Amino acid sequence: MSVTSKDDISHILRFVTDCHGKFDLSKCVIRESALGGLGVFAKTDIAKGQSVLTLNKSSIFSASNSSIANLLYDNSIDGMLALNIAFIYETTVFKNTSHWYPFLRTIRIRDEQGNLNLPPSFWNKNGKELLKGTSFDTLFDALTPEEEIVEGFEIAINLARKWNEEFQLEIPNGFLDVKENNHGKDFNLKLERFISVAYTLSSRGFEIDAYHETALVPIADLFNHHVAHPDLKFVSLYDVCDKCGESGMCKHLIAEEYLEVQEQERDTSRAEKMETPTINEDLINSLENGLQEERSKSITDIEDEDSGIENADECVDLVLKNDVTQHQEIFNSYGELSNVFLLARYGFTVPGNTYDIVHLGPDFMNILKKEEKYQEKVKWWGQVGHGLFSAWYVQMRQEDEGEDKDSVPQSDGFSEDAGSELEEESEEEEGENDLNSWLSQLYIDYNGEPSPSTWALANLLTLTASQWKSLFSKKVTPHISDSIINEEKLPFLAKKDNPHSKKLLSKLLKDKKLPCIKRDNTPQVTGITDNMFHSAQILVQSEHDILTKCRKTLS
């Protein structure tokens, strides 16, 4: 939960004005939102297509334009780690001397009660209990602390010490000044602050371009998220030089082109072997002289046109994709995300989030472990069946869509691993864990509809011995995975009206345990802050509602 205080509105507006940004105060107003913190509201009706905010990229804050940009670059630090370290230096070391400080100081890493904003993976035991057994825990394993952030903190501490030793750059006080002789306690205290910075920035960052990567954008970060009907589109030219951020020709591109031409000439002439020219400072400088001339000419052209804001390619824009009406809050979209993702990355949850699901993996595992009769079927499903069924199902859906071209394409339930959205790093381990792969496909969607795999596994488990045999065109061999499936039987697995399967699923839902969310004690006793409680309550309620809908579907 990262929110801004209303006392900061004037500072943010002044910063944007000083940066010659365009935010039309006759059309929009920043004020407190019922969702928490601030939001941006329409002062008048505004037509779709209009831009509500235009800022030059030089006024956004990224690691690449921070005061320590060169140091980060020299040490090959990029991405979110670079942004976190840059933010810490800017707000603790450079402070008033930093161009961005008036904006950055409005970004709080603590909630209104003074508690650090922490992701659930770093909540205390009581806090984690609030989410135990939900999809957050079982499907995404998002209660386990990420090693990556601790490693990032250690890198940041070492760099701070190195820069201090080498050229006396002050070590950020209270953040990276970990006492060497008091490693444990002091380390953990400052690690929490570091995590809080990372979590807060991840809830406010915008993907800008190849040069800036993720950056903080004043005012743009005050628009709240809408799950279903966002009003805005964030526009930024991504394809720029990753070394200098130029959108057109720059010395790096010219140097690259020059080398390419040299290469081609060498190939075509097939003459004596020429020495390969390399990009060095001399080459860049000589090329840059030519470029400088070209550039000053084009700058004059732009200034002549003078529209108040410079080259559009050098700006970021928030453009309306809907008409908005007077007084309404104007919403952005942080992505088509379930509450699991919103909480893990952005620190909040939304009631009635249509991207929510309920994971049934552990619930199936419970009955599979208990019942000997299921062992053979489950072994086949894990090794062969799930893959076969998924491929058949996707193909069948494509054929249906081909026949009915006007129909709205729908998710086939297999196109994406339901558990993939939080697991960028675990994609490397793809294939390592077949069990997780098919278990992740066992879920109920927001409408209370079991996923295709859920129906299929339930249908499989409830097959009688003779039905199970007839699933194979050849006798089941001792090695179940070698048995040949009778493909005509696959549609049976997709059935949604098998009373035996419905009964099995109903029992599964009856036994499913979700956390009981109630406030037994004060936050001082439990360490559960209002934000933690509120977020967990919405997430768990959403899962309860999905289960209720599913029970109706099954009855």
Ligand X SMILES: C[S@@+](CC[C@H](N)C(=O)[O-])C[C@H]1O[C@@H](n2cnc3c(N)ncnc32)[C@H](O)[C@@H]1O
Residues forming the site for ligand X (CB under 6 A): 1-4, 33, 35-39, 203-204, 221-222, 224-225, 346-348, 350
- CB closest to ligand X, residue no: 37
Closest CA to 55 of 105, 7, 15: 15
Distance between CA 444 and CA 439 in Å, rounded?
Answer: 12
User: Where is 81: in which H helix or E strand?
Assistant: helix 79-89
Task: Reduce the DSSP state of residue 46 to 3 states and report it.
Answer: strand
CB of 39 to ligand X, least distance (A): 6
Q: Could you tell me if 342 and 225 are in contact, meaning their C-beta atoms sit under 8 angstroms apart?
A: yes
Query: Measured from the CB atom, is 9 or 131 closer to ligand X?
Result: 9
Closest CA to 190 of 94, 120, 92: 92
Query: Measured from the CB atom, is 220 or 554 closer to ligand X?
Result: 220
User: Where is 28: in which H helix or E strand?
Assistant: strand 28-32
Query: Measured from the CB atom, is 201 or 490 closer to ligand X?
Result: 201
Q: Could you tell me if 369 and 363 are in contact, meaning their C-beta atoms sit under 8 angstroms apart?
A: no
CB of 499 to ligand X, least distance (A): 41
Query: Measured from the CB atom, is 224 or 390 closer to ligand X?
Result: 224
CB of 537 to ligand X, least distance (A): 13
Distance between CA 288 and CA 278 in Å, rounded?
Answer: 16
CB of 145 to ligand X, least distance (A): 20
Query: Measured from the CB atom, is 330 or 509 closer to ligand X?
Result: 330
Sign of CA dihedral 368, 374, 375, 376: negative
Distance between CA 262 and CA 480 in Å, rounded?
Answer: 61
Distance between CA 332 and CA 334 in Å, rounded?
Answer: 7
CB of 114 to ligand X, least distance (A): 16
Structure tokens that stand for 193 in this block: 């602050």
Strand 28-32, strand 213-216: pairing: unpaired
Query: Measured from the CB atom, is 224 or 501 closer to ligand X?
Result: 224
Burial 495-504 (b: 16+ CB within 10 A, else e): eeebeebbeb
Strand partners, 46: 324
What Å distances lie between residue 476 and 139, 143, 260, CA to CA? 33, 41, 61
CB of 350 to ligand X, least distance (A): 5
For 334-388, the three-class secondary structure string (H helix, E strand, C coil) is CCCCCHHHHHHHHCCCCCCCCCCCEECHHHHHHHHHHCHHHHHHHHHHHHHHHHH
Distance between CA 501 and CA 283 in Å, rounded?
Answer: 72
CB of 1 to ligand X, least distance (A): 4
CB of 84 to ligand X, least distance (A): 16
Query: Measured from the CB atom, is 39 or 172 closer to ligand X?
Result: 39
What Å distances lie between residue 262 and 249, 273, 277, CA to CA? 18, 12, 8
CB of 531 to ligand X, least distance (A): 8
CB of 122 to ligand X, least distance (A): 16
Query: Measured from the CB atom, is 3 or 493 closer to ligand X?
Result: 3
Query: Measured from the CB atom, is 107 or 255 closer to ligand X?
Result: 107
Query: Measured from the CB atom, is 221 or 317 closer to ligand X?
Result: 221
Task: Reduce the DSSP state of residue 428 to 3 states and report it.
Answer: helix
